[in-house]
Amino acid sequence: MRRFGTMVVAVMLLAFSASSLPAQEKDADADYEISDPFESFNRTIFDFNIFLDDAIGKPLAEAYTNVLPEAARDSIRNFIRNLNSPVVLANDLLQGEGERANDTLTRFLVNSTLGLGGLFDVAFDMGYSYHSEDFGQTLAVYGVKEGPYLVLPILGPSSMRGATGKAIDTFLNPLTYIASANDGEIWLYGMRGTSAVDFRSRNIETLDQLKRNSLDFYSLIRSIYDQHRRNEILNGKSEK
Amino acid sequence: MLKSSFYKLAACTIPIAAFFVLLLASEIRAGEATDQVKMGIESILNILRDPALKGDEKISERRIKLRKAIGEQFDFNEMSRRSLARQWKSRSVEERIEFVDLFSGLMEKNYVGRIEAYTDEVIMYKKEEIDEDFASVKTVIVTKRKQEISINYRLHMVAGKWRVYDVVVKGISLINTYRQQFRSIIKKSSYDGLVKILRRKRDGG
Tens-digit pLDDT profile for residues B159-175: 889 999 999 999 999 99
Task: Give A-chain residues touching B132 at CB under 8 angstroms.
Answer: 17
Least confident of A123-137, A165-179, B15-29: B15-29
Nearest CA in chain A to B4: A1
Separation CA B170–CA B26 (nearest Å)? 28
For chain A, give the mean pLDDT: 87
Between B51 and A14, whose confidence is greater?
Answer: B51
Bigger pLDDT: A56 vs A17: A56
Give the A:B interface size as CB pairs under 8 Å.
113
Model confidence pLDDT, tens digit, residues B67-102 = 898 888 999 999 999 999 989 999 999 999 999 999
Residues of chain A in contact with residue B179, where contact means CB-CB under 8 angstroms, are 31, 223
CB B89: neighbour CB atoms within 10 A? Answer: 11
Closest partner residue to A9 (CB to CB) among B15, B86, B136 is B15
Calpha distance A213→A206 (Å, rounded): 11
- For the four alpha carbons of B80, B86, B87 and B89, in that order, the dihedral sign comes to positive
Q: Which helix (H) or strand (E) holds B95?
A: helix B93-116
**A155 has a pLDDT exceeding 70:** yes
Alpha carbon of B67: minimum distance to chain A alpha carbons (Å): 19
Kindly tell me if the per-residue pLDDT of A53 is higher than 80.
Answer: yes
pLDDT tens per residue across span A211-223: 999 999 999 999 9
Report the residue from B81, B177, B180 with minimal CB separation from A28: B81
B46 touches chain A (CB under 8 A): no
CA distance A119 to chain B (A): 18
Asked if B173's CB is within 8 angstroms of A227's CB, the reply is: yes
Q: Name the residue ranges covered by the structural domains of chain A.
A: 1-12+48-67+143-233, 71-133
The sheet that has B161-169: what strands, in order across it?
Answer: B122-131, B134-142, B148-158, B161-169, B172-173
Q: Using 50, 70 and 90 to split pLDDT, how confident is the model at B21?
A: low
In chain B, residues 166-195 whose CB comes closer than 8 Å to chain A: 166, 168, 170-173, 176-185, 194
Q: Do A1 and B7 touch (CB under 8 A)?
A: yes
Higher-confidence position of B31 and A63: A63
User: Distance, in angstroms, between B97 CA and closest chain A CA?
Assistant: 17
Q: How many whole angstroms separate alpha carbon B88 and alpha carbon A221?
A: 24
The predicted model scores a pTM of 0.82
More confident residue, B148 or A3: B148
- What pLDDT score was predicted for residue B163? 94
Residues B190, B98: Cα–Cα separation, whole Å: 16
Beta carbons within 10 angstroms of residue A35's beta carbon: 15
Give the ipTM of the model, two decimals please.
0.80
Cα separation of B63 and A121, whole Å? 42
Which of the pair, A24 or B201, is modelled with greater confidence?
B201
CA distance linking residue A87 with residue A191, whole number of Å: 15
Neighbour count for residue B197 (Cβ, 10 Å)? 18
Question: For A88-102, what is the mean pLDDT?
Answer: 96
The domain spanning residue B121 has which CATH number?
A: 3.10.450.710
Q: What is the mean pLDDT of residues B45-64?
A: 87
Residues of B in contact with A10 (CB under 8 A): none
Residue B75: the pLDDT is 95
Of the pLDDT bands very low, low, confident and very high (cuts 50, 70, 90), residue A13 is very low
Q: What is the mean pLDDT of residues A132-150?
A: 94
The average confidence (pLDDT) of chain B is 86
- In the predicted model, is pLDDT for residue A163 greater than 50? yes
Q: Does B150 contact A at CB distance below 8 Å?
A: yes
Q: What is the mean pLDDT of residues B139-154?
A: 86
Cα-trace Rg, chain B: 22
- Identity (one letter) of the amino acid at B173? S
Long-range own/partner contacts, residues A159-168 (CB < 8 A, 24 or more apart): A159/A229, A161/A136, A162/A134, A162/A136, A162/A229, A163/A136, A164/A135, A164/A136, A164/A139, A165/A134, A165/A135, A165/A136, A165/A137, A165/A138, A165/A139, A166/A134, A166/A135, A166/A136, A168/A135
CB nearest to A216's CB, from B12, B170, B184: B184
AA identity, residue A184 = G
Burial of A196 (0-12, 13-18, 19+ CB in 10 A): middle
Closest alpha carbon within chain B to A211: B110
**Average pLDDT for A113-132:** 93
CA dist., res. B123 & res. B138, Å (int)? 10
Let me know how long chain A is: 240
Contact A215/B198, CB-based, under 8 Å? yes
Confidence of residue B4 (pLDDT cuts 50, 70, 90): low
Nearest to A221 by CA among A134, A38, A213: A213
In chain B, the number of structural domains is 1
Nearest by Cα to B196 from A215, A218, A221? A215
Asked if B179 lies within 8 A of A31 by C-beta distance, the reply is: yes
User: Where in the sequence is the domain holding B161, given as residue range(s)?
Assistant: 2-203
Q: In the predicted model, is pLDDT for residue B48 greater than 70?
A: yes
Q: What is the CA B182 to chain-centroid distance, rounded? A: 20
**Which pLDDT belongs to residue A12?**
40
